[in-house]
Structure 1
Amino acid sequence: MKRLEGHVALVTGGSRGIGAAVAVRLAEEGADVVVTYERRAEAAGEVVRRIEDAGRRGVAVQADCAVPEAPADAVEEAVSAFGRLDVLVNNAAVFPTGPIDAWKVDEVDRTLAVNVRAPFLAAQAAVRYMGRGGRIISVGSNVADRVPFPGLALYSMSKTALEGMTRGLARELGPRGITVNLLHPGPTDTDANPADGPNAGGIAGFTAVGRYAEPAEIAATVAHLAGPEGAFITGASIHVDGGFTG
Structure 2
Amino acid sequence: MASSAPALLGGSLKGKVALITGASSGIGAEMARHFASLGCRLALTGRNMETLQEVTNECIRRGLDKNKILMIQADFELEADVKRTAEETIQKFNQIDVLVNNAGVLTAGSVETVSLESFDKIFAVNVRAPLQLTQLLAPQLIKTKGTVVNVSSVVGKVSMPDFLIYSMSKTALDHMTRSIAEELAPHGVRVNAVNPGAIVTPIIKRSFGMTDEETAQFFEKMKRNHAMRRTGTVDEVSRTIAFMASNDSSFTTGETVGIDGGCHLLVTKVPI
TM-score (norm 2): 0.85
Higher helix share: 2
Partner of 1:141: 153
User: Could you tell which deviates more after superposition, 199-208 or 102-111?
Assistant: 102-111
Partner of 1:28: 37
Partner of 2:61: 53
Partner of 1:10: 19
User: Could you tell which deviates more after superposition, 133-142 or 75-84?
Assistant: 75-84
Determine whether 1:41 maps to 2:60: no
Using the alignment, how far apart are the partners of 2:44 and 2:144 within structure 1?
23
Structure 1, unpaired ranges of 5+? none
Partner of 2:134: 123
Q: Deviations over 1:108-157 (max 9, x none)?
A: 11111101000000100111212243011100011111223x21111100
Return closer, same or farther for 1:109/1:193 CA change in 2, 3 Å cut-off: closer
Please show how residues 95-110 of structure 1 align to structure 2 within 5 Å: 95-110=106-121
Identical positions, percent: 34
Task: Give the secondary-structure state (helix, strand or coil) at the position aligned to 1:137.
Answer: strand
8 A contact 1:33–1:51 mirrored in 2 = no
User: Could you tell which deviates more after superposition, 229-238 or 194-203?
Assistant: 194-203
Matched residues, number = 244
Using the alignment, how far apart are the partners of 1:157 and 1:10 within structure 2?
25
- Could you tell me which amino acid in structure 1 is paired with residue 157 of structure 2? D
8 A contact 2:76–2:129 mirrored in 1 = yes
Instruction: Give the counterpart of 2:247 among 211, 228, 231.
Output: 228
User: Could you tell which deviates more after superposition, 188-197 or 167-176?
Assistant: 188-197
Q: Deviations over 1:134-186 (max 9, x none)?
A: 011100011111223x2111110000001111111111100111000010001
- Could you tell me which amino acid in structure 2 is paired with residue 217 of structure 1? E
Deviation at 1:107, TM superposition (A): 2.1
Partner of 1:175: 186
Question: Could you list the runs of 4 or more consecutive aligned residues of structure 1 that deviate by over 4 angstroms after TM superposition?
Answer: none
TM-score (norm 1): 0.94
Partner of 1:163: 174
Using the alignment, how far apart are the partners of 1:83 and 1:52 within structure 2?
21
8 A contact 2:96–2:144 mirrored in 1 = no
Structure 2, unpaired ranges of 5+? 1-7, 206-211, 266-272
- Could you tell me which amino acid in structure 2 is paired with residue 159 of structure 1? K
Root mean square deviation, CA, Å: 1.6
